[in-house]
Structure 1
Amino acid sequence: MRTLGVEEEFLLVTPDGVPQAVSGAVLRFASLDPPAVPGPGTDEPGGSIEKEFKQEQVEISTRPRHSLRDLLAEVRAGRELADAYARRAGARIAALGTAPQPVESTVLADRRALEIRARFGQTAREQLTCGCHVHVEVADDDEGVVVLDHLRTWTPVLLALSANSPSWQGRTTGYASYRSQVWGRWPTAGPTAPFGDGAGYHGVVADLLRSGTILDDGMIYFDARLSAHYPTVEVRVADVCLDPADAVLQAGLVRALAETAVRQGRRHDGHPRTELLRAATWRAARSGLSGELVSPAAGLPRPAVDVIGELVDHVRDALVDAGDLELVERQLGHVLRRGNGAVEQLAWRAEGAQDDEVVRRAVDRTVPATTQD
């Protein structure tokens, strides 16, 4: 069974719900304690608390796991650990794709981050968003590209399930995932055309670097890419999820898509044009689970619940073989009943919650006092 792992980005917020530039302090506290699990430079990737582009956020990552239940336990433990270090710095972590209130965010005080801010201007200055990235194991770059070329069709559905950023700079945007709209300003962000094989993928990356537009291959921000450090495909389209089980749902679906892709090889039915994928991704960001999505099978608008059913049917054999079908279907049922993070945030607003209360409720959902499967 393919291993998989999750990276999650979180806002650091004060007790009254305002993003706070304290990542340096949080990381210093983390560095003083022995690592709870192997981190960078050890035999296994992940299992660490790391910096992000802005000082108002941190990232956690898991180790490679085979079992979704084990992955869920590690995601929960990572959130609890990050929140414990944030508390020492007078803050909490919040799994929000964007902050609800107006924010003047602060880039890291390192050379690369400052160069990105200088080169990319307002795009970099406003870039305070939090995503969920799933890594799934592949044998080599050629197999990885088979996975990339196949799952690109389904990334809008993954975005719709995870959408958790309806607000931006003090306004309700009308989007379920406004994070994806902000993130899409970067020159390499978004869906990609098929690469064909590993050489084709690396040729595109080399051309982007040769163009002088981006600093390095760390700025390859495709919705899904080959990892530069590990033998994995990294799917980056999702918002960070309020519920840790929703992050693991993303992982289970990504692994099933990867396995389905490899089983089908290059025999799957065609590749939709990138322009159509961009439109489908925009539509998923706009309405999330509350409207229609573009059906990958038909290319037509259909109710979100029907398109999610298409995804499950598409990967059902892989889910069964991995022993993941029951957990994935149960968690999908939870999401469809209560909604994604955007639906929850808007419901809090409808109850009268202001920005600070939205953030406090998000903190409680990020690190719940009690957990259950």
Structure 2
Amino acid sequence: MRTVGVEEELLLVDAESGDPRALSTAVLALAERRAEGESVFESELHDQQLEFATEPRSAMGDLAEEILRWRAEAAHSAAEAGAAVAALATSPLPVSPSIGEGERYRWLAERFGLTAQEQLTCGCHVHVSVESDEEGVAVLDRVRPWLPVLLALSANSPFWQGQDTSYDSYRSRVWGRWPSAGPVEIFGSADRYHEQVRTLVGTGVLRDEGMIYFDARLSHRYPTVEFRVADVCLDPADPVLLATLARGLVETAARAWRAGEPPEPVPVSALRMAAWQAARSGTGGRLLHPLTLRPEPAGDVLQALLAHVRDALEDSGDLASADKALRDVLTRGTGARTQRELLAGSDSLRTVVTECAARTRG
């Protein structure tokens, strides 16, 4: 059974007004004290963010429990600092983000200017274990067409600087400003993958391998494939669904590789179209089908994804729960829909943020 881990980035906000608060240093110190020096929380590029990472898990129930636990712990530590945490991929309210402390963050701010300054975005990263770099690159080559579907499932960033962007995932549009972000070509081998990474770092545009921001990549820290395409999700059930589908995609791709089946030769330009469509409409409209690249109802494309990974999910015992979770998302919508419904009911973006913080706290 492949293990799965999830990293979530959370927004630090004022508990009453909903305004983003630059309190990561204080919250991290409080979290470390609460955990007696072994905190799972880390800083991010901006002081208005907090990140945690789960342990590698084989059972999705264990992963779900851990996500709930660390969201609650983050909320407790933030409350001690006079703030709250919200699982929002962008701030609905206007904000002037502040860059965090440390040489790396200062380098990013100087090197990338406004692009770095405006990157107050919160994502969800899913790590799935692989046996080798060769298997990992074979997986990357074969999951490419399905990554926009994961983006649509996670869409949770309709607002930016106080405005409705008309996108369900505007975070992905902002994140795409980094020079190494987005979909990539088929590599064919681990050697070619690593050669490409060395070439990109060698240009001097990127500081190091940690800035390889592909939609999915080999982790430079763990023996995993890291899916980086998703927004942080408002409903805590959704990162579990993402992890379930990501593991199914990895196992399905690895089996195809071992069977000698080649990856689908989808051009990067078409993948960019599919990612744009997923960011624009989420699960509420049409998506580009990964195999035909033609627009189809989102529900049909989600069912195509489930069918694609069905055998792997049956073998891991996750098929029934994944099927139910997919139907739940289609019924209630993603975080983007929830945020817009909250705004429609209150006519206040501040209420949107404070209600989402309450839901994050659980």
Q: Spell out structure 1 runs of 4+ moving beyond 4 A.
A: none
2:269 to 254, 271, 275: 275
Correspondence 1:260 to 2:247: no
Q: Which of 299, 312, 323 in structure 2 is aligned with 1:318? A: 312
- 1:356 corresponds in structure 2 to 350
Counterpart contact for 2:130–2:223, Cα < 8 Å = yes
Letter in 2 for 1:32: R
Which is further off, 204-213 or 24-33?
Answer: 24-33
SS state of the match for residue 93, structure 1? strand
Equivalent in the alignment of 1:330: 324
Match in the other structure for 1:303: 297
Residues 76-97 of structure 1 show CA distances to partners (whole Å, capped at 9, x for unaligned) of 0010111111111111110001
How far, CA to CA, are the matches of 1:147 and 1:258 in structure 2?
Answer: 6
2:102 maps to: 110
2:50 matched residue in structure 1: 58
Q: Distance in 1 between matches of 2:326 and 2:116?
A: 34
Name 1:215's counterpart in structure 2. 207
CA deviation vs aligned residue, 1:190-223 (integer Å, no higher than 9, x gap): 0111111111111111000111111111111110
8 Å CA contact retained: 2:142, 2:263: no
Structure 1 CA distance, aligned partners of 2:264 and 2:141? 10
Q: In structure 2, what is the Cα distance between the partners aligned to 1:275 and 1:343?
A: 28
Please show how residues 165-184 of structure 1 align to structure 2 within 5 Å: 165-184=157-176
Opposite residue 265 of structure 2, the aligned amino acid is H
Q: 2:131 aligns with which of 135, 139, 143?
A: 139
Amino acid across the alignment from 2:293: G
Q: Give the aligned residue type for 2:178.
A: W
Match of 1:241 in 2: 233
Deviation at 1:352, TM superposition (A): 2.8
SS in 1 for 2:346: coil
1:225 and 2:226 matched: no
Percent sequence identity over matched residues?
Answer: 51
Letter in 1 for 2:238: D
Q: 1:332 to 1:35 in 2, by over 3 A?
A: farther
Verify the 8 A CA contact 2:23 2:81 in the aligned structure 1: yes
Q: How many equivalent pairs are there?
A: 359
The code of the aligned residue for 2:27 comes to V
- How does the TM-score come out when normalised to structure 2? 0.97
2:13 alignment partner AA: V
Distance in 2 (alpha carbons) for counterparts of 1:306 and 1:117: 42
Q: Distance in 1 between matches of 2:13 and 2:278?
A: 28
Cα 1:34–1:347 change in 2 (3 A) is closer
Tell me what 1:371 maps to: none
Output the aligned Cα RMSD. 1.2
How far the C-alpha of 1:136 sits from its partner, in A, is 0.2
- State the match for 1:42 in structure 2: none
The gaps in structure 2 that reach 5 residues or longer are none
Task: Tell me, yes or no, if structure 1 residue 292 matches structure 2 residue 290.
Answer: no
Match of 2:335 among 338, 341, 344: 341
Distance 1:97 1:310 in 2: 26
Give, in whole Å, the separation in 1 of the partners of 2:233 and 2:265.
Answer: 29
How far apart are the structure 2 equivalents of 1:268 and 1:8?
33
TM-score scaled by length of structure 1: 0.94
